[in-house]
A = this chain, B = another copy of it.
Amino acid sequence: MNKQVKVRTFSISELAKEFDVTTRTIRFYEQQGLLNPARQGQTRIYSAQDRVRLMLTLRGKRLGFSLAESKELFDMHDSTAQGNEKQLLYMLDILSKKQADMRQQLSDIQRLQEELNIAEVRCQDALSKVRLRDQKKNSDKQQLIQEQRRVG
């Protein structure tokens, strides 16, 4: 039985829209060896796998990975299936380094989050003070007008 498995594919602009990047960006990632879409004629056809790769690449970017680093991780992930010992050890080394990076970032983020909260409170505080002052200024003015009416 020739099982016709339907595979969902994507056009370049579909992916661009979904991930809010330009098509230029996606083509660039391909040029850098991060994506490898099939072709229909000369038009690119992206598989679900390609889509995942794009997702991972973008997440990597948000976490400060260069495209080259992401590519390296992808390549290793692909090759370690049939990797030799040296490859595997190298991969483990990279993985542990990345994990250290992530621990660092995690603590960076937590510290920054606290500081942002503090700044926000400070800011809200200053804001309410400004508003109170302005309110008082207005009520003073109103009072003045009232008195002027009584007098004039």
Q: Which residue numbers of A lie inside 8 Å of B, CB to CB?
A: 59, 62-64, 77, 80-81, 83-85, 88-89, 91-92, 95-96, 98-99, 102, 104-106, 108-109, 111-113, 116-117, 119-120, 122-124, 126-127, 130-131, 134
Copies of this subunit: 2
Q: How far is the CB of A128 from chain B (nearest CB, A)?
A: 10
CA distance A33 to B98 in the complex (A): 32
Q: Which residues of B contact A98 (CB under 8 A)?
A: 112, 116
Partner of A102 from B63, B109, B120 at Cβ < 8 Å: B109
Chain B contacts for A108, CB-based, 8 A? 59, 62-63
Question: Given the complex of chains A and B, what is the CA–CA distance between A50 and B76 in angstroms?
Answer: 42
